[in-house]
Amino acid sequence: MSQPKSGSVGFENGKMTGLEGNTDVTFIQSGGYLTKIRSAKWQKERYYKLLDDFSTVWYESRKMVGRKQTFSVNDIDSVRHGRQTEGLQRFVGEKLEGRCFSIIFKGRKENLDLIAGSEEDASHWITGLEKVVNMMQHFSRQQSSEHWIFTCMRKADKDNDNRMNLKEIKHFLKQINIQVNDHYAEQIFKQCDTNGSGTLEGAEIMKFYSILTKREEIDTIYNEFARTNNLMGATDLLDFLLNQQREQLSLEDAHQLIQKYELDETAKQNQCMTKDGFLMYLQQEGVIFNPAHKDIYQDMNQPLNHYFISSSHNTYLMEDQLKGPSSTEAYIRALMKGCRCVELDCWDGVEGEPVIYHGHTLTSKVLFKDVIKAIKEYAFKVSEFPVILSMENHCSIEQQKRMAYHMINILGSALVTEPLGDTMPTSLPSPKELKGRILVKGKCMNKLDVFFNPISAMEEGSVSEEDEAAEMKEESKPINSNMKLAKELSDVVIYCKSVHFKGFEYARDNQSFYELASLKESKALQLAKTSANAFTRHNAAKLSRIYPAGSRTDSSNYNPVPMWNVGCQIVALNFQTPCCEMDLNQGLFLPNGRCGYILKPKFLRDKNSGFDPNGLSPELRMQNTIFHVMVISAQQLPKLNTEKPGSIVDPLVKVEIFGVPGDTVEKKTHHINNNGFKPMWNEKFKFIIHVPELTLVRFEVEDYDTASNNDFIGQYTLPFTSIQNGYRHIPLYNKRGHLIPSAGLFVHVMIMNSE
């Protein structure tokens, strides 16, 4: 069986990754047979191995010699030990638990369910893959860049002789998304081919790499501050840090940065930083996102309604709302993205077991109890703060009782089944008080004070239907129709009792703090436009949930920003759909440890607030913030058409401001022809921002097209309040919100308060 080999490249990549000689990684590099599981009948052996580039897994069918396939380690989201996917649970018995594992891919690619020959082999595969995935995820920008370039070189080295002739160099340049004329390619080649052999190898390839990756913009910045014998001394570096980066650092901090990032020992001893060390510093610490906001930094002791909460709609769906599959995997993916409110559409199933799916459609069904098990397993993997289960209940009394039974027995002590304190509260508990707990949002027959005055408790009875459920049937059934509610299900609803919205005045006078209304996007948007201040005050006291219109059968999303502008907390989006709206959601919840909770600005937490995003007060209009951005360059943008090696992108950058209506604007650079490797724009933009606390900034890179809409290349979204001044690198994420290794933007930012 022919298998790809590239010995010395593999050795170099091994040294770069620090994994050379690792027992588990060596095992999966040697490869072996694994049984791939697709169904009860389709279970076939395949040969798998990690290639020497440390970034590609290759496999070949035993019966179909010559049919080779690969997938990138960068496409792996996680590796799960045991039968932790729907496929393995359905098609493989418990006896093989220790030999099973699954490779979970980013995006919509199906999981790869596998069985190893022994538990020891499974352990090698799981640990080895986890080490490689973890290594790739924690690469510095410099490491990502080098690894990507050397991997492209390996692919261009068609005869695997670890040398590159001129034809291979030209192929390589197209692979890395740069179009150069033949004369220029030949010129660089001759410059590097010092021994005149007609091929590049060893040090010659490194010289070629050095010329290729030279960044003129970094040279310009460095030369401006390199005032100590043409090097950047500690005082020079401090000048740069204070006056360009606007960081409050000392000379001792500058000394430490030199010790940390400078590779030249002589320069390090002289307390100087070379150009290479300076670039290393900029790539590692010169990021646009404020590192002080990376971990939990906000006050987590305020009532739940004082936070924006990352929320999912139709969480069970992997695709559209008409015929797409329902899966526990969709819940796992949402929770692993930091989602803290998931939706469960519950219907009667066979054999007394309730199911979850999009009712009256062809979407597949998933057992309610399997969803609860998945939530139990993954609720607190990435965030310790509470998860809300938003129940859409269409079940009979008996199956409602079954729902309550499963939640109580599976979730155990994590499920909130009674108020936290001994006395009747006056506000919702805080995220900190609810750490590791799961709340149920749904219909409830009792008031919260029944726990402190049991005489007022009600038995099984009728309640009005949830707004969203009623909306689905409004053609044939009055919205205020009643449904039977089981006492057992009602009793697990404590702090999130669903009620109808009857207007802000009614809510102010009659709605308790633990009661929340769900509003369709169109109704919420109308209220955000016509009664913004009343909406703001309402959300300062109570929770609101917003959900997409039922007409969005393609699982598209609405713009969440107007809802956040009036303080709506549970703004539910279709997490399964890649779009600008999900980029904004990812951006809003990027800070604070990505825990799914963001403290709302003070003016959105005040019950007597005068804030109106549509008509800013004179005080807010006077407090303008000026946002200067110079888009300088990009690095190693991905190819969009990988099937055509000669297809090179023509990139441009769009800077978008999302916030209150008076702040929302976008500006674009010109496009660069045929250069996705290191295009340079040097274009300046100026934005006036009135409400920085509600502003999101989105940087999008597009491939210019004269005949049709520009194609999306990558984006990065973050809160304006998390932006750092100075020269900054910006990572880029693909359509599905996953980091694009090695790609990025380089900008200069200056934020000023107007006089």
Mean pLDDT of 695-711: 94
Q: In 3D, which of 61, 41, 57, 37 has the Cα closest to residue 115?
A: 37
The mean pLDDT value for 139-152 works out to 73
pLDDT for residue 321: 82
Band (pLDDT 50/70/90 cuts) for residue 27 is very high
Given pLDDT bands bounded at 50, 70 and 90, which one contains residue 6?
very low
Tell whether the model's pLDDT for residue 604 goes beyond 70. Answer: yes
The answer to the question of whether 148 is labelled as a binding residue is: no
Which one is catalytic: 147, 171, 293, 358? 358
**Cα Dmax for the chain:** 96
Determine if residue 218 is labeled as part of a ligand binding site: no
- Cα dihedral: 370, 376, 379, 384 (round 10): 180
443 is in an annotated binding site: yes
Classify 602 as helix, strand or coil.
Answer: helix
Q: How confident is the model at residue 3 (pLDDT cuts 50, 70, 90)?
A: very low
Is 70 exceeded by the pLDDT of residue 130?
yes
Q: What is the pLDDT of residues 376-400, one digit of tens each?
A: 999 999 999 999 999 999 999 999 9
534 vs 176 pLDDT, higher one: 534
Distance, CA of 488 to CA of 499 (rounded, Å): 19
Active-site annotation holds for 748: no
- Reported as a single tens digit per residue, the pLDDT across 293-316 is 999 999 999 999 999 999 999 999
50 in a known ligand binding site: yes
358 counts as catalytic: yes
What average pLDDT does the segment 429-456 reach? Answer: 90
Residue 587 is predicted with a pLDDT of: 98
DSSP-derived secondary structure letter, 670: P
Kindly state the DSSP code that residue 43 receives in the 8-state scheme: E
Question: Mind listing the domains of the chain with CATH numbers?
Answer: 7-138 (2.30.29.30), 142-212 (1.10.238.10), 216-285 (1.10.238.10), 304-449+459-604 (3.20.20.190), 618-753 (2.60.40.150)
313, 538, 690, 748: which is the annotated catalytic residue?
313
For 694, half-sphere exposure in the C-beta direction (CA atoms, 13 angstrom radius) is 27
Would you call 317 helix, strand, or coil by DSSP? strand
Of 14-18, 50-54, 312-316, the one with minimum mean pLDDT is: 14-18
Say whether 418 counts as a known binding-site residue.
no
DSSP character at residue 138: T
pLDDT, mean of residues 396-408:
97
Q: Which residue has the higher pLDDT, 14 or 544?
A: 544
What is the predicted pLDDT for the residue at 188? 84
Residue 235: exposure state from Cβ atoms within 10 A (0-12, 13-18, ≥19): middle
For the record, the structure tokens of 551 come out as 């007409």
The C-alpha atoms of residue 129 and residue 76 are separated, in whole angstroms, by: 9
pTM (two decimals): 0.88
Q: Give Cα separations from 34 to 1, 4, 28, 422 (angstroms).
A: 16, 19, 11, 56
Mean pLDDT of the chain: 89
Other beta carbons within 10 angstroms of residue 223's beta carbon come to: 12
Radius of gyration of the chain (CA): 28
* Residue 45, pLDDT above cutoff 60: yes
Tell me: is residue 219 an annotated ligand-binding position: no
